[in-house]
Amino acid sequence: MADVLVTGGSGYIGSWCVLALLAHGHTVRTTVRDLNKESAVREMLRAGGAPEDAKLTVLQADLQQDSGWREAVEGCHYVLHVASPTLTSLSQSDDDMVGPARDGVLRVLRAAREAGVKRVVLTSAFGAVGMGHPEKSRVFTEEDWSNVDGGIAPYQKSKTLSEKAAWDFVAEHGGVELAVVNPVGVFGPVLGPDYSPSLGLLQRMLDGELPALPKFAMGYVDVRDVADLHLRAMTDPVAAGERFLAISGHSLWVRDIATILRDRLGDRASKVPTRELPVWTARALARINPGLRILRPQLGKNFDATSEKAQRMLGWSPRPIEDTIADTAESLLALRGATV
């Protein structure tokens, strides 16, 4: 038996949530789409400090299939629903992202409700909060929702509509509590090659693959702090029915990240660019550059947010983002060295 289910234990946030739960003495069950991933999951957890005899069971369940979910939630008091379709190519459409994300959330909620689970904590994203708005600079809170008609990317639309579907389900059917965590860009140490797409920016900067820095600002947060916030939202009575933005401090321009990398890593960050690409140039290049094209709605904008609510209600205290960026870069360099 297990008292907590974590969906998507092979993913970046999911694996750190499993580690945090094990460290707090929970008996954990996690799902993967393919049981062939079990050995990789356990290897990542060992890399993160989990003991060999960790109280963990790995089960197979696919968000696009009904089978497996009754067994996954059976006997659990809590569910952390972390798994969701992620952007695997720049050409993915709304249909590729929205339907699978929404259907998966509803499958997990139905199974949890039928099994008598006390609370589900859903991993949403800032993409469900602050996208599709015309302002160039604004501090977003949990009261905000992304405008799905504002030309936002498929991933952001999927996060927005799947989270709204979750709130609608609980409002209509009851029987299970819901809390939601909305992280901004997630940085932090990597446990293996399957990590957050947000880290691709740091990797490209360290590898010298960016000739110049795109001009936009957004918030970032440590994956270890995201996992901690999930646990607080899981057990604190005041978290039921609430959303919680997860951000460390305030937003950073990409040039700020570059400065932190050079300051903390010295010569090992010698390939990190120093020049910022003018917005008008980036917009022109976006016509032929797929990487810039996906960033086009963000160019020149400052997507800031506040985690005041999580700190006030749940006592959450994220670490300084400068430390997170340094730790992330160190782990990416170590991973690259181990795989060369």
DSSP class per residue in 193-243: S---TTHHHHHHHHTT--SSB---EE-EEEHHHHHHHHHHHHH-GGGTT-E
335: left (phi over 0), alpha (psi -120 to 50) or beta: alpha
Q: Do 82 and 123 touch, CB atoms closer than 8 A?
A: yes
Note if 157 is an active site residue.
no
First vs last C-alpha separation in the chain: 41
Catalytic residue from among 159, 215, 271, 301: 159
Q: Which residues of 280-312 are buried (b: 16+ CB within 10 A; e: fewer)?
A: eebbebbeeeeebebbbbbbbbbbbbbbebbee
Residues labelled catalytic: 159
